[in-house]
Amino acid sequence: MTCVHLLLTLVFAVSLGTPVEIQGPRGVPLTSIQFYVENKPFTCLDGSRTIPFDRVNDDYCDCKDGSDEPGTAACPNGSFHCTNAGYRTMFIPSSRINDGICDCCDTTDEYNSGAKCENTCKELGRKEREVLQKMTEITKEGFLLKQHLIEEAKKGHQEKQIKVTDMQENKKQLDEKVEVLRTVKETAEQPEKEAKERHLKAWEEQKAAIRLEKDKAKMAEAFLELDDNADGFVSVSELQSHAELDADADGTLTETEAQGLMGGAEQVDMSTFESVWPNIKDKYHSEVSREEEPAPVETPPDEVKEPVVDNDSEPYPEDDISEEEDEDDEDEDDYHEDDDKVYHTENLSKNIEKELSFDFGPDAEFTYLYSQCYELTTGEYIYRLCPFNRVSQKPKYGGSETNLGTWGSWSGPENNKYLLMKYEHGTGCWQGPNRSTTVKLTCGKETVVTSTSEPSRCEYLMEFTTPAVCQEPANTDLSPHDHVEL
Amino acid sequence: MQGPEVLLSLNSRGLLAFEHLRLHKDTQAQPDGAEVKESVDGDQQQDEGEKGEDGESDKEEVGLWEETFKSHTDTKPNGPTSISLDFSLPGVEHVYGIPEHADDLKLKTTDGGDPYRLYNLDVFQYELYNPMALYGSIPVMLAHNTQRTMGIFWLNAAETWVDISSNTTGKTVFGKMLDFVQGSSENPQTDVRWISESGIIDVFIMLGPKPSDVFSQYASLTGTQSFPPLASLGYHQCRWNYNDQEDVKSVDQGFDQHDIPYDFIWLDIEHADGKRYFTWDPHKFPQPKEMLQGLMDKKRKMVAIVDPHIRVDSGYKIHNEITSKDFYVKNKDGRNYEGWCWPGNSGYPDFTKPEMRAWWASMFAYDQYEGSMENLFTWNDMNEPSVFNGPEVTMHKDALHGKWEHRDIHNIYGLYVQMATAEGQTRRSGGVERPFVLTRAFFAGSQRYGAVWTGDNAAEWDHLKISIPMCLSLGLVGVSFCGADVGGFFKNPSTELLVRWYQTGAYQPFFRAHAHLDTTRREPWLFGPENTALIREVIRQRYALLPYWYQLLYQAHKTGMPVMRPLWVDYPKDTATFTIDDEFLIGRDLLVHPVTEEGSRGVTAYLPGAGEVWYDVHTFQKHNGAQNLYIPVTLSSIPVFQRGGSIIPRKDRVRRSSTCMENDPYTLYVALSPKKFAEGELYIDDGHSFNYDTKKEFIHRSLTFANNALTSNNLCPNCNFLTSSWIEKVLILGASKPSKVLLKMDGKETPVDFEFDTSMSVLTLRKPGMNAGADWTLLLQ
C-alpha cells in the first residue's frame, strides 16, 4: 500500500512539479495552488474579502489571515511554503522571508535580502535519509532485542512466581524446623534468650506461637528451679521459698496461700505444674539473676541509609547478634542458621514480590532494567541511574553521593507513558526543592545513559536509550527511493 | 527669588554644618587652621544629626574616631567629617528623585522616621516602601508645583542622608482648602536637609522653570543618557544561569519554535571559569565563539557578566596584571584590600584611577577577552561594591583609593566600573560601535554609560508595582534606560504574575527577564500555549514600537528628557497627576497603565489633559482627557493610549530580532487632536554605530498633520543616511472620510488607495510607498 502511495505521489510531483512552481505565486504550497488563479480576483482563504490578483504578494497585507501575501513578510500571521526539493517541504512564518537569515534549504525565503544562501537541500536530504536509515536499523534491531527482553521477562516472571510459591513452601518448613530447634534452645542461657527475643520481635507472624514456647520453657525452668530437692515434684514448701508469690502482699507466702496456688495439692509433678504455672508466672522471680530486657534492635531509618545494593528491605542485624553470642553451641548455630534462612527466604520472597509489583511495561519489556545501574561520567560528575530505584550523582574527584530522586512513576504523555520516568524526593536543595530527575527514554540498541542536564535548579533531565521502547518498525524500505529527488 | 517670590532658601533653618577637620587629640589638640572652613554666617548651629558634634566642645563623643558595626570596625583616621545643609522650598508640596529607593514616586516626609539613605549596597531581598539604601545613589531631588519645577543636585559621593519635612503633612485636602479660603495660615512648604558623611558642600540648583528645563540643566552638569544600540531596546532573555552552550542553543531555538522575538541572551556568573571574569568555563562553554557565531547567524547577541571583584589567584591573568600594576584598592594599612565575593577571596580594582580604567577597558579588546566577538556585550553586577564579609556587605570605609578613603567615594565606585567597561567596548571597535553595558550600582552621571536595572527584586505583585515608581524616579534624574527583572528575580512567579510582568516590562525602557538560580525555568513558552501566546503578543507589541523607543532614546540623549515619565512632566499644571505612579508616559505620546493587581478585572486610568483626547492603541476607541477612565481588563489587556495630536511610527512587521527588522517598512499612527492636528518625529540610523554622531549619518524628520495634509519635513538637512525602509501604511485615528487621497512627492501627485472604518473613524492609507527618508505630503481631499 505505502509503496503504491509513494509511487503515486512521485508521479504526481514529477509530472506537475516544475511547471507549477513557476505559475503559482511565491510561497504557496501545491495543495492551495488552485486558490491563486492568475488575473482572477483573489478571495482571502478565510473568505473575509476579495481583492484584485495584483494585490497578491504585492508586499502589503490585505487579508486578515495573511493569505494574500504567502511570499512576502507583509502579514504578521502569514506562512511561507518552501518546496525544498531533495529534502522535506516546510512552512516558515512569513516574518522570516527576506530577514537575512537562510531558513529554507532551497534558499527561496531569501530572494531579496542580499543574504548569501546556499541550496543545502540535497545534503540535508542525504543526511536525513542516512539518519532515518540508521534509525530504522536501530529500531529494527532494537525491536528484535525488545522481543528477547519480553521473552526473558516472561520466563523470569514465571520462574519468579514459582520461586515465590516454592519459597513460601520452603518457609513453612523452615518455620517448623525453627520451632523444633527453638524448644531445645529455650533451655539455654539468658543472653541467648534475649537475642532470641529480638528475633521474635522481627518475626511478627510467629510471635504468639513463640511466646507460648517461651512460656513453656520458662515453666520448665521454673519447675527445675523450684524443685530444690530434684525429686521431680514441686512441693508447697518449695514454693514457699518464693515470697514474691505472696497473694495478700503481707510479705510472707503462707502454707495455705502456697497450697492455694497449687490448686490444693501438696506437691505437683511437671505435667501438673502446667496448671499451677499460670497462677504464679506473673510474679515468679527466677533464682538466676535476670538481666534487663534488651532494647529493640535499632535499624537505621531509610532516608539516612543509601544502600548501594538495590534492596529496600532492612538488613538482618547480624552484627548486633554476634556480639552477644559469646558461647555458641551447636544447637544455637543450627537455630540461627535456620532463622537466617527464614529471614533470607522472607526477604527474597518480599523482593520478588516487590519486583513483581512494578509496572515493567505492557509486555514487561523493562524488567531487565530492574536491579541494574547505568552510569554516565561528565566533566564534573558521575551520574548513576538505577531504574525503578534511584538516580544519584557523585563528584568525579571525591565527595559524597547526592540522591537525585527515587523511583516515582512513569510519566510520559498519555499515549505512551513509558517514554518518561520520574524520580522524586531526592536530597533537598538549599533554599530549593527536593532534587528530582526526569529520565527520557529513546529507542536504542544499547542500554545507556547518553546525557544529563539540570535545566532548572535541582531538576535533572537524563536521556537514556533502551531497546525496550523501540516500536515495531513500519514495514518500509527507504533504499529504492534514494535516488529520487523531488 | 523671582520678583517678590521666594523660590528656595538655603540654611533657613540654620542646619548648615560641617566638621572642622582636626587631628586626633592623641596627637594634637589644635586643628590646622588652613584646613578649617568657616561657617557661612559664623553661627554654626548645634547639629542634631547623629554624626554631628559641637566643634568647640572638648567632650568626646563615642564614634568620632572609631565606629563599630557588628564585627566591623571603621578606624576613621580623619575623625568626624560630616557636612549638612538645609533647603526650604516655599510653595512646594511635591518632591521627587534621590533614587534608589523602593518607594513611591512622590517622596514622603521623614519626620519621625529614617531619612532617605543614599549608600550603594547589595541588599538581599530588599523591602518595599522604605527609605533604606539600595544599589545606586543619585543625589538629585526635584521640586515641583504648578508654577515651577526646580532641582537640587548635592554632588557628594559619600554616604548621604536626606530628611524631608513639610508643613502640610497630615493636613487633609479639606484642611488645605480651609487655609486657602481663609487666606490665612502658611504657604505650603517643604524643607529638605542633606547630610553627608564627608566631602565638601557642593550644590547645584536647577531653577527650571519647566520640567524640561530642569532636565536640560541637570544634563548640562552630568551629561545625558547614552544612545544605546537599537537592539538593546529589544527583549532580553536572562537567567542565572544558562547552563552551557547546549542550553543557550536550545533556548535560542525555543524562541524560533514559538515565534517569539528576542535580541539578547544573557549569561550570569556561572559562565566564567571559577568566577574568573573574562574567561569561560571550559566544560560548559568550551567554544564561546562558536556559540556567539550561532547567535550572530540569527542576528542576535549575548551579554556575559563581568563583575568588579577579581579572584585572588596567581593563575589568573587579570589578577596578576592588576597586582603587578598595583591597581587594587588598599586597606587602611596599605596592603591590597581583600574581601569575599562569588569567587571566594577577591581583590577590588581601584576604578577611581584613570590608568586602572584605561587598562580595564583594554581587557575588552578581542585579543584580550578570549572568546569574545562583536555581538558579546557586558553586564556589571555587584559594583556597589559588594563585599560579602564587609560591613553592610560592602567595602570598609577606611579602605584606600590612593589618598582618598573609600568613605569619600563609595557611591561613585559603581559608576566608574561601568564607565571603564563601556569605554572598553567602544575601544574594541576602534570607537565605531556603541557599547551596551548594564549596571546595578550607579551615581549621578551613570546615564552616560548604559542601562540600569533595579536589582534583585522578587516574584511578588508588589515588586511588579514598585518597578514603575523606581524607574520613574531614575528617569527624573537622568537615567532613562531603566528596567526591572521581568518575572522577579527571587522566587517563582505565578503564571498570571509572569504574564502581567511581561505586559508591564514591555512598556519600560530596559526589557529583560531574569531569574534566580534556585527558581524553576520560566522561558516564555513553559506556561501553556495560551500564556505563550499572551507573552508573544506583548513582546511583539514592544518590537512594533521600537522605532518610537529608539527615537525617544535619541531625544533623551540629545536633550536629557526622560523616556519613561511621570504624567506631571507633560502636565505640570495638573495637580491630579502629581502623585500618580501606577501609570506613566512613554515620551509624550503613549500613556500606559499596567495591570499590577492579581485577578484584576479592571483598572482606573487617569487620562490627563483637559480638552485633549486619547486613543486606545488596540481598539482605536477615543477617550476624553482629564478623566478617570475605568477599563475592564482580561489577562490579555494592556491599557495603552496614544495621545490625540501625536504621530507614532511603528514597524508592524515583527521579526525574530530587531536587526532582522532593519529594512522593514513603517506604519504611521496618526492620532488626531480635537483640532485635527498631530505631530511626531521619525529617527533612523544604522542602529549600532557612532556614525550618527561622527558622520551625521541619520535621518531625522518631523511629521505633521495639519489642514488635512500629512507632511514629512527634514529636521537635519545636512545629514546623510540612506534607508531602504518605506512607508507601507498610514493610520489616521479620529479622521473623517476623504473623497480622495493624493501623495505629493517630487512635484508629482499620485492617488493613494484608502479605507475608512466609520465605527472607529479610522482612515487607513494603503501602501503610499514613499521612502522613509524622503520629503512628501499626503493630501486628504
Q: Give the model confidence (pLDDT) of B180-213 as tens digits.
A: 555 545 689 999 999 999 999 999 999 999 999 9
Residue located via cell numbers 594599612: B333
Band of pLDDT at residue B48, cut at 50, 70 and 90: very low
A76 contact B CB<8A: yes
Give mean pLDDT, residues A427-443.
88
Specify the pLDDT at position A166. Answer: 79
Whether pLDDT at A326 is above 60: no
Bridge partners (DSSP) listed for residue B376: B302
Q: Measured between CB atoms, which of A95, A379, A429 is closest to B656?
A: A95
Tell me if A452 is assigned to some domain.
yes
CA distance A55 to chain B (A): 11
Tell me if A451 is assigned to some domain.
yes
CA distance A253 to A239: 9
Catalytic residue selected from B381, B398, B652, B685: B381
Identity of the amino acid at A271 = S
Specify the pLDDT at position B646. Answer: 98
Tell me if A75 is assigned to some domain.
no
Specify the pLDDT at position A314. Answer: 38
Specify the pLDDT at position B61. Answer: 65
Specify the pLDDT at position A246. Answer: 65
Whether pLDDT at A408 is above 50: yes
B664 contact A CB<8A: yes
Tell me if A419 is assigned to some domain.
yes
For residue B728, the chain A residues in CB contact (below 8 A) are 59-60, 74
Specify the pLDDT at position B40. Answer: 39
B552 and B575 both lie in a single domain: no
Specify the pLDDT at position A194. Answer: 67
For residue B299, the chain A residues in CB contact (below 8 A) are 99-101
B381 and B422 both lie in a single domain: yes
In terms of average pLDDT, the best of A321-325, A340-344, B123-127 is B123-127
For residue A453, the chain B residues in CB contact (below 8 A) are 243-244, 246-247
The pLDDT > 70 percentage for chain B reads 93
- Which domain-ending residue is among B160, B187, B222? B222
Whether pLDDT at A220 is above 50: yes
Residue contact B655–A73, C-beta within 8 A: yes
Q: Which residue has the higher pLDDT, A475 or A135?
A: A135
A395 contact B CB<8A: no
CA distance B459 to B461: 7
In terms of average pLDDT, the best of A127-136, B167-176, B720-729 is B720-729
Band of pLDDT at residue B395, cut at 50, 70 and 90: very high
B192 and B145 both lie in a single domain: yes
Tell me if B129 is assigned to some domain.
yes
| Interface probe with A: pick from B299, B543, B767, most Cβ of A within 10 Å | B767
Domain with residue B592: its CATH number is 2.60.40.1180
Q: Please write the tens of the pLDDT for every residue from B380-394.
A: 999 999 999 999 999
Q: Measured between CB atoms, which of B243, B283, B660 is closest to A454?
A: B243
Angle at B200 between CA B198 and CA B206, to 5 degrees: 120
Q: Which of residues 631-660 of B touch A (CB under 8 A)?
A: 652-656, 659-660
Kindly report the average pLDDT of chain A as a whole number.
Answer: 77
Q: Please write the tens of the pLDDT for every residue from B714-767.
A: 999 999 999 999 999 999 999 999 999 999 999 999 999 999 999 999 999 999
Total number of domains in chain A: 1
Identity of the amino acid at A237 = S
- Which domain-ending residue is among B176, B201, B222? B222
Whether pLDDT at B70 is above 80: yes
**pTM for the whole structure:** 0.81
CA distance B351 to B357: 6
Band of pLDDT at residue A342, cut at 50, 70 and 90: low
Specify the pLDDT at position B547. Answer: 98
Whether pLDDT at B559 is above 60: yes
Give mean pLDDT, residues B614-636.
97
A453 contact B CB<8A: yes
Specify the pLDDT at position B180. Answer: 55
Specify the pLDDT at position B419. Answer: 98
Tell me if B45 is assigned to some domain.
no
Specify the pLDDT at position A350. Answer: 75
Residue contact B766–A60, C-beta within 8 A: yes
Specify the pLDDT at position B190. Answer: 96
Residue located via cell numbers 495621545: B643
Residue contact B517–A60, C-beta within 8 A: no
B637 and B670 both lie in a single domain: no
A77 contact B CB<8A: no
DSSP sequence for B694-705: HS--EEEEEEEE
A456 contact B CB<8A: yes
Specify the pLDDT at position B707. Answer: 97
For residue A56, the chain B residues in CB contact (below 8 A) are none
Tell me if B143 is assigned to some domain.
yes
By residue range, what is the domain housing residue A376? Answer: 367-466
Cβ neighbours for B157, distance < 8 A, ≥ 6 positions apart = B137, B199, B408, B409, B410, B411, B412, B443
Q: Measured between CB atoms, which of A76, A100, A458 is closest to B652?
A: A76
Give mean pLDDT, residues B470-498.
98
For residue B661, the chain A residues in CB contact (below 8 A) are 99
Give mean pLDDT, residues A94-106.
96
CA distance A101 to chain B (A): 6
Tell me if A424 is assigned to some domain.
yes
Residue contact A453–B246, C-beta within 8 A: yes
B730 contact A CB<8A: no
For A295, how many CA atoms within 13 A lie in the half-sphere containing its CB?
A: 4
B411 and B457 both lie in a single domain: yes
Identity of the amino acid at B688 = H
Band of pLDDT at residue B591, cut at 50, 70 and 90: very high
The pLDDT > 70 percentage for chain A reads 68
**Among B37-46, B578-587, B624-633, which stretch is predicted with the lowest mean pLDDT?**
B37-46
**Among A59-73, A83-97, A356-370, which stretch is predicted with the lowest mean pLDDT?**
A356-370
| Interface probe with B: pick from A68, A95, A378, most Cβ of B within 10 Å | A95
Give mean pLDDT, residues B154-163.
98
B538 and B439 both lie in a single domain: yes
Domain with residue A435: its CATH number is 2.70.130.10
Tell me if B618 is assigned to some domain.
yes
Give mean pLDDT, residues A5-15.
40
Residue contact A76–B654, C-beta within 8 A: yes
Tell me if A314 is assigned to some domain.
no
Q: What is the ipTM of this complex?
A: 0.89
Specify the pLDDT at position A188. Answer: 62
Specify the pLDDT at position B185. Answer: 54
Residue contact B243–A73, C-beta within 8 A: no
SS3 sequence of chain A: CHHHHHHHHHHHHHHHHHHHHHHCCCCCCHHHHHHCCCCCCEECCCCCCEECHHHCCCCCCCCCCCCCCCCCCCCCCCEEEECCCCCCCEEEEHHHCCCCCCCCCCCCCCCCCCCCCCCCHHHHHHHHHHHHHHHHHHHHHHHHHHHHHHHHHHHHHHHHHHHHHHHHHHHHHHHHHHHHHHHHHCCCCHHHHHHHHHHHHHCHHHHHHHHHHHHHHHHHHHHHHHCCCCCCEEEHHHHHCCHHHCCCCCCCCCHHHHHHHCCCCCEEEHHHHHHHHHHHCCCCCCCCCCCCCCCCCCCCCCCCCCCCCCCCCCCCCHHHHHHHCCCCCHHHHHHHHHHHHHHHHHHHHHHHHHHHHCCCCCCCCCHHHCCCCEEEECCCEEEEEECCCEEEEEECCCCCCEEEEEEEEECCCCCCHHHEEEEECCCECCCCCECEEEEEEEECCCCEEEEEEEEECCEEEEEEEEHHHCCCCCCCCCHHHCCCCC
For residue B521, the chain A residues in CB contact (below 8 A) are 455-456, 459
Specify the pLDDT at position B11. Answer: 92
B574 and B554 both lie in a single domain: no
Tell me if B654 is assigned to some domain.
no
B273 and B178 both lie in a single domain: no
Band of pLDDT at residue B54, cut at 50, 70 and 90: very low
By residue range, what is the domain housing residue B573? Answer: 567-641
Total number of domains in chain B: 4
Band of pLDDT at residue A207, cut at 50, 70 and 90: low
Tell me if A377 is assigned to some domain.
yes
CA distance B431 to B424: 9
Residue contact A73–B664, C-beta within 8 A: yes
Q: Please write the tens of the pLDDT for every residue from B682-708.
A: 999 999 999 999 999 999 999 999 999
| Interface probe with B: pick from A101, A111, A380, most Cβ of B within 10 Å | A101
Identity of the amino acid at B650 = R
For B81, how many CA atoms within 13 A lie in the half-sphere containing its CB?
A: 23
Torsion of CA B397, B398, B403, B408, to 10 degrees: 20
B538 and B573 both lie in a single domain: no
Element spanning B254, H or E = helix B245-257
**Among A210-219, B347-356, B570-579, B740-749, which stretch is predicted with the lowest mean pLDDT?**
A210-219
Please give the residue of chain B at the shortest CA–CA distance from A116.
Answer: B297
Band of pLDDT at residue B26, cut at 50, 70 and 90: low
Domain with residue B264: its CATH number is 3.20.20.80
Is-catalytic flag, B574? no
Please give the residue of chain B at the shortest CA–CA distance from A101.
Answer: B298
CA distance B591 to chain A (A): 25
B605 and B670 both lie in a single domain: no
B459 and B593 both lie in a single domain: no
Band of pLDDT at residue B49, cut at 50, 70 and 90: very low
A101 contact B CB<8A: yes
B283 contact A CB<8A: yes
Q: Is the dihedral of CA B257, B258, B260, B264 positive or negative?
A: negative
Catalytic residue selected from B456, B485, B574, B581: B456
Tell me if A432 is assigned to some domain.
yes
Give mean pLDDT, residues A286-310.
41
Is-catalytic flag, B191? no
Give mean pLDDT, residues B260-286.
97
Q: Phi-psi category of B492—alpha, beta or left, where left has phi over 0 and alpha has psi -120 to 50? A: beta
CA distance A431 to chain B (A): 7
In terms of average pLDDT, the best of A134-143, B47-56, B383-392 is B383-392
Kindly report the average pLDDT of chain B as a whole number.
Answer: 93
B408 and B554 both lie in a single domain: yes
Specify the pLDDT at position B174. Answer: 58
Domain with residue B182: its CATH number is 2.60.40.1760
